[in-house]
């Protein structure tokens, strides 16, 4: 147990049982995230079961809380989906789940990472997490948004032959190989999967996924702002309805471009790393994350 975690963080209230989330719990898990007005679908929960793990708390057999971890190679892992149903809040369940995730990951030699809302950040700072960089979720409606064509840059649909380059480029930007996850996103929302090509060389890509209430665009990685802007325009022109995109605050021109097209900041997020203020990613080339639950 780390110094930041008190002995009380290991104690659950009477009647609360901890166990792994299983396939049979998916409907209840979706209901829990919907209660919190989050955007996840059953496919998102399936992703955690297939690529990571989910711990749940139950009372009298009913699911009341969850937390998920998603490992990226033997380096770091994401913590997310820390949810507690409204009737069971203010008992320390979320804190218990977070501490459980941290201890489990540290025991496996993985560094915990997460994307925090302002309310969550206050808790995570007290548990040993440190700020690395900030972003905002921008929300609006998809439309036919044209970006000024940049000389030599072509944006086209992602093809099977592009995957080695896409996965390699994402690894250099994100800090780990997550090819299986990227391919799953492309299957979920193929119309948002694009690559940018400059003089025959790949210089960026975009992906997205369907959501319960809105489409999520991201991740988007590119060598520069011009390529990123053309990818964002292509992705937003290929989908419809309410759309969210989580953009690092350092990319002011992209934020301004989206604002001019009706997108507004819904909430800030802070990327936090356990006991370190250094992140694994390259935000100069990361223009939109996959989502706070995925990284």
Structure tokens at 232: 């964002």
Structure tokens at 145: 């948004």
Ranges for all domains in the chain classified under CATH 3.40.630.30: 7-109, 136-267+275-288
Q: How far is CA 6 from CA 17, 126, 128, in A?
A: 20, 11, 12
Phi, psi of 48 (to 5 degrees): -70, -35
Per-residue pLDDT tens digits of the chain, which is 295 residues long = 344 555 456 789 999 999 999 999 999 999 999 999 999 999 999 999 999 999 999 999 999 999 999 999 879 999 999 999 999 999 999 999 999 999 999 999 999 999 999 988 988 999 999 999 999 999 999 999 877 777 689 999 999 999 999 999 999 999 999 999 999 999 999 999 999 999 889 999 999 999 999 999 999 999 999 999 999 999 999 999 999 999 999 999 999 999 999 999 999 999 999 999 999 999 999 999 999 999 9
What's the angle, vertex CA 95, arms to CA 249 and CA 68, rounded to 5? Answer: 70
pLDDT at 147: 75
- Which sign, positive or negative, has the C-alpha torsion 210, 24, 100, 107? negative
Helix or strand run (H / E) with residue 279: none
Q: 16: closest CA among 54, 62, 68, 53? A: 62
In CATH terms, the fold of domain 7-109 is Aminopeptidase (3.40.630)
Does residue 109 come out as left (phi exceeding 0), alpha (psi in the -120 to 50 range) or beta?
Answer: left
Structure tokens at 294: 């995925």
pLDDT at 9: 63
* In this structure, CATH architecture of domain 136-267+275-288: 3-Layer(aba) Sandwich (3.40)
pLDDT at 5: 53
DSSP 73: T
CA distance 23 to 154: 42
């Amino acid at each position: 147990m780390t110094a930041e975690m008190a002995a009380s963080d290991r104690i659950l209230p009477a009647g609360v049982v901890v166990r792994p989330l299983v396939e049979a719990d998916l409907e209840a898990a979706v209901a829990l995230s919907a209660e919190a007005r989050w955007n996840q679908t059953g496919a998102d929960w399936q992703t955690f079961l297939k690529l990571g793990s989910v711990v749940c708390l139950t009372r009298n057999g009913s699911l009341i809380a969850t937390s998920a971890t998603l490992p990226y190679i033997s380096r770091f892992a994401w913590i997310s989906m820390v949810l507690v149903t409204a009737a069971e809040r203010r008992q320390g369940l979320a804190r218990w789940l977070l501490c459980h995730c941290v201890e489990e990951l540290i025991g496996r030699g993985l560094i915990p990472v997460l994307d925090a809302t302002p309310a969550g950040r206050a808790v995570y700072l007290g548990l040993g997490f440190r700020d690395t960089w900030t972003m905002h979720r921008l929300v609006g409606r998809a439309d036919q948004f044209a970006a000024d064509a940049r000389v030599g840059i072509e944006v086209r649909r992602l093809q099977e032959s592009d995957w080695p380059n896409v996965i390699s480029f994402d690894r250099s930007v994100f800090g780990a190989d997550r090819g299986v996850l990227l391919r799953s996103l492309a299957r979920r929302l193929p119309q948002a999967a694009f690559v940018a090509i400059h003089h025959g060389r790949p210089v960026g890509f975009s992906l997205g996924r369907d959501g319960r209430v809105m489409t999520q665009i991201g991740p988007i990685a590119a060598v520069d702002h011009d390529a990123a802007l053309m990818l964002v325009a292509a992705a937003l022109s290929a989908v419809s309805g309410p759309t969210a995109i989580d953009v690092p605050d350092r990319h002011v021109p992209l934020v301004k471009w989206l604002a001019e097209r009706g997108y507004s900041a819904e909430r800030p997020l802070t990327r936090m790393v356990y006991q370190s203020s250094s992140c694994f990613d390259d935000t100069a080339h990361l223009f939109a994350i996959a989502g706070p639950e995925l990284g």
